[in-house]
Structure formats: C-alpha cells, structure tokens
Amino acid sequence: MTSPGSQGVNTPGALPNSLPSVGKAAEAPLLTVDSLRIYYHSVLGEYKVVDGASLSVRPGEIFGLAGESGSGKSTLVDGVLRLIKPPGYVAGGQVLFRPGDSLNVTDNLPEMVDLLALAEGDLRRVRWKHMSYVPQGSMNALNPVMRVRDQLTEGILAHTTMSAGEANAKAREVLELVGLGRRVERLYPHELSGGMKQRAVIACAIALRPKLVMADEPTTALDVNAQRAILQLIHDLRRELGITVLFVSHEMGVHAELVDRMAIMYAGEVVEIADVESIYIRPLHPYTQGLIGSIPHATGERKRLVGIPGMAPSALTWPEGCRFHPRCSRAMDICRTSAPSLAEVQPGRLVSCHLCQPPAHPGNGTGARYQGQAASSGEGARRDA
Ligand SMILES: Nc1ncnc2c1ncn2[C@@H]1O[C@H](COP(=O)(O)OP(=O)(O)OP(=O)(O)O)[C@@H](O)[C@H]1O
Ligand code: SF4
Ligand SMILES: [Mg+2]
C-alpha cells in the first residue's frame, strides 16, 4: 500500500454546491462522476449496467476501482470518455473533469468541463491530451504491421502540431520512460512479451502528459513478474510525472499493492469508498467484506477462504431495495424494500448499506447523508463521493 500522493491544483474548486467534497478532500477533485447511468437497450428492456454510480478522484492520487466481473467497471470508464456505442447510451448523470493548469491555452476550454455535455470537437481535445485511457485488453490491439515507435509517433502527430521529427523524438523519449529502450522501438508487436506490449500501450497513454490516465485491467493476463513490473511502472510514473491514475482491476490483491483510495462497485453502483488500508483492514460493506475474505494470504495464520454466496444479479432487473440483499448474510427487512444511499459514515469513508447509518449532523456536510436530486434525472437519492 502506498501513501496518498498530493499534487497541488492552483485554482481552488468551483464545483457546484450540490457536489460536496468529502473528508480531507479539501482539494477539488480532478474527476467527479456523479450518479452516472449507462444503459444498453434491448428487446427485453434496458440493461442498467451502470446505474447511479458516483466517485471522485483527487489530483495526484492512484484511485482504484474494484468489483466482480460484470459489475460495470469498464462501462463506467468508457462512459467517462463518451466511448459508449449503441445500443448503449448515457441515461443520466454528470462527469466533471478539471484539466486545470495543464491546459494548453490554444485549447480554449474552461477550467472545469462537463464531459457528457462537451461538444465533440472539445472532447477530442480533452481526450489523450488531458485525459487518456489504457483500455482493457489493449495490449492485444496494437497494430501488428507497424513498429512500436511508429505507432506512437503516429498517435503524437494526430494530437499535436509537432513535426514528424519532433514526434519521432518524443516517441523515443516516452518509450525510454516506460523502460522500452532503443532495441525495442524498432520491433513489431508480435516480437514483444506481454509485459513489453503493456508498456508500449502505457507509453501511448502518457505520451502527451495528460493529467489523468485511466488504466483498465492493465495487469490482467500478465504473469506475476510482468504484473509487478507494470505496477511499479505506474507507481513511478505517478511519482515522476505527477499523473493521476484511475486504476481498474477485479483483482483485490493488485489494488492493495498500488492504490491510495478505492471504490468498490457492485451491480452498477459504487457501494464503498475509502482509503486502501481501511478497505483491507476494516471493510464496512458486507460485499467488500466478502471480497476481502476471498483473498488468499501467503503468510500468517491459515484461514478458510470465504467466497460470496450466490450469483451477481442481471442488469436487466436489479433486485428491489439493496441490490446485494439476496447474497447478503446480514440482510434485514428494510434491505429488501429500501435502497441504501452512498453516505459518509466516517470522515472520508463512504458506504451504501443500512448497517452503516451515518451520524446525523444536520447542516454539516461531514457525516450527513447526501440527498438531493440526481444530476440529470431529477429522481432518486444522490450517491456522491
Ligand atoms: N450490448 C450490451 N447489452 C447488454 N449488456 C451489455 C452489453 N455490453 C455489455 N453488457 C454488459 O455489461 C456488463 C458490465 O460489463 P463491464 O465490462 O463494464 O464489466 P466489468 O466490471 O468491467 O467486468 P470485467 O471485470 O469482466 O472486466 C456485463 O455484464 C456485460 O454483459
Ligand atoms: S443494505 Fe442490507 S442487504 Fe445491503 S449490504 Fe447492507 S445489510 Fe446487506
Ligand atoms: Mg472490465
């Protein structure tokens, strides 16, 4: 586990009053996902794959997003970048991004942008230059007939006004930065190991020095040594370049090694957010407790691993009340009828569970349950982070 990073933002936040900052997050978030809903239309109805998810990522941190396969992690990240293709669509919510002082003045964008409302041309300027993405499985999507350096150069040329020579030099510099030296730059993707391909993909993502990199399962399908090396690389890039990282993985053990804070997703919602130590040492949501209970430990007392009983529900018909109640050993009557809200139960700690009622401090942000209108739907309780 690493200590939280803190890269300053020059201008304090201008977030709407309805988006409270949480705990010690006095610094305005770099990215705020508020009640995001992404649905897929089908003849059977709407698959509510992401359904009211909220989180916020602070400048300079490595923020983890975890949850079982199918919980909606990749869909959320795709939604942030507006990469959802029909029959998928954004059904509601807000995604605020603060490019801040990294902005090139020629981009002529405001200090904070609502990504879901941004014009396509402005969105293209934000993507890659200010916010970039390592998509799930992208190391296998490198162009097989182009040398690694040429692919990188092409990407840099597409997003900047650099000359071919400058872009080529930049590509070399970035490959060096991710540990792929001169020998590798002339190779084709099939000549690279899995770990080297992943480094090449990360090089593409950081080439333009974005403020935020969203990396979706960058260590999945790598052997243990390559996995460790990629985690170390992300850690080093954050330290050396000050890049903020949204790190997505379904492997809880990987989060423990890298992230500062994390969110747990279940059935299209975020159900718990806390610093990584709290999540591992004292998880509060029964689903998080199940995830932690199913991690094998190499050392210490031998304990029987406890899995989470039952199957994840279908996004076509989420269970009434708390979506986790059919699998929750602590479910109460209220859980079957009333959906809990994500609320701050301790400073900086948010949980969506009836067992964790926040202390009532009316009129005081800390400890109070966040309520109000969902960002664009006008319905339901707010689930802010
Ligand atoms: N066109 C579609 N119609 C209906 N459901 C879809 C469609 N595309 C994706 N889904 C569903 O969205 C759900 C969430 O997928 P997503 O890839 O976001 O999950 P994930 O949490 O990233 O999982 P993993 O850990 O396996 O990467 C999956 O159950 C998937 O079946
Ligand atoms: S709200 Fe109820 S069913 Fe849901 S996680 Fe908490 S105790 Fe379990
Ligand atoms: Mg995924």
**Residue 322 near ligand 2, beta carbon < 6 Å:** yes
**Residue 286 near ligand 2, beta carbon < 6 Å:** yes
**Residue 42 C-alpha to ligand 1 middle, in angstroms?**
14
**Residue 257 C-alpha to ligand 3 middle, in angstroms?**
19
**Residue 75 C-alpha to ligand 1 middle, in angstroms?**
7
Confidence of residue 359 (pLDDT cuts 50, 70, 90): low
Residue nearest to atom 7 of ligand 2 (CA): 331
Which ligand 2 atom lies nearest to the CA of residue 328? 8
* pLDDT of amino acid 20: 34
Which ligand 2 atom lies nearest to the CA of residue 325? 3
- CA Rg value for the chain: 21
Distance CA 68, CA 178 (A): 30
324 vs 300, residue with greater confidence? 324
Q: Which of 5-19, 27-41, 55-69, 95-109 has the lowest mean pLDDT?
A: 5-19
* pLDDT of amino acid 382: 37
* Residue that the structure tokens 């809903």 belong to: 37
* pLDDT of amino acid 29: 95
- Pocket probe mutation, ligand 2, options 264, 287, 324, max atoms within 8 Å of Cβ: 324
Residue 357 has a CB neighbour count (10 Å cut-off) of 12
**Residue 335 near ligand 2, beta carbon < 6 Å:** yes
**Residue 160 C-alpha to ligand 1 middle, in angstroms?**
33
Average pLDDT estimate for 80-97: 97
Tell me the per-residue pLDDT of 51-84, one tens digit each, with 9 for 90 and over: 999 999 999 999 999 999 999 999 999 999 999 9
Q: Hey, is 293 helix, strand or coil?
A: helix
Confidence of residue 357 (pLDDT cuts 50, 70, 90): confident
Distance CA 26, CA 36 (A): 23
**Residue 291 C-alpha to ligand 2 middle, in angstroms?**
15
Domains of the chain from N-terminus onward: 26-136+211-295+325-385 (3.40.50.300)
DSSP H helical ranges for the chain:
73-80, 120-126, 148-159, 164-177, 182-185, 194-206, 224-241, 252-258, 276-281, 286-293, 333-337
Q: Which of 38-47, 198-207, 239-248, 293-302 has the lowest mean pLDDT?
A: 293-302
Distance CA 322, CA 334 (A): 9
**Residue 327 near ligand 2, beta carbon < 6 Å:** no
**Residue 330 near ligand 2, beta carbon < 6 Å:** yes
Q: What percent of the chain has a predicted confidence (pLDDT) above 70?
A: 81
Tell me the per-residue pLDDT of 252-287, one tens digit each, with 9 for 90 and over: 999 999 999 999 999 999 999 999 999 999 999 999
Average pLDDT estimate for 310-324: 96
Burial 52-78 (b: 16+ CB within 10 A, else e): bbbbbbbbbbbbbbbbbebbbbbbbbb
Torsion of CA 11, 13, 15, 17, to 10 degrees: -140
**Residue 247 C-alpha to ligand 3 middle, in angstroms?**
11
Q: Which residues line ligand 1 (CB under 6 A)?
A: 40, 42, 47, 49, 67, 69-75, 87-88, 136, 250, 315
Residue 160 has a CB neighbour count (10 Å cut-off) of 16
Beta strand segments in the chain, E: 31-42, 45-57, 62-66, 88-97, 113-114, 131-134, 212-216, 244-248, 261-266, 269-275, 343-346, 349-351
Q: Which two tokens stand for residue 221?
A: 């399908």
Residues, the chain, total? 385
17 vs 356, residue with greater confidence? 356
Confidence of residue 141 (pLDDT cuts 50, 70, 90): confident
Cis peptide leading into residue 12 (ω within 30°): no
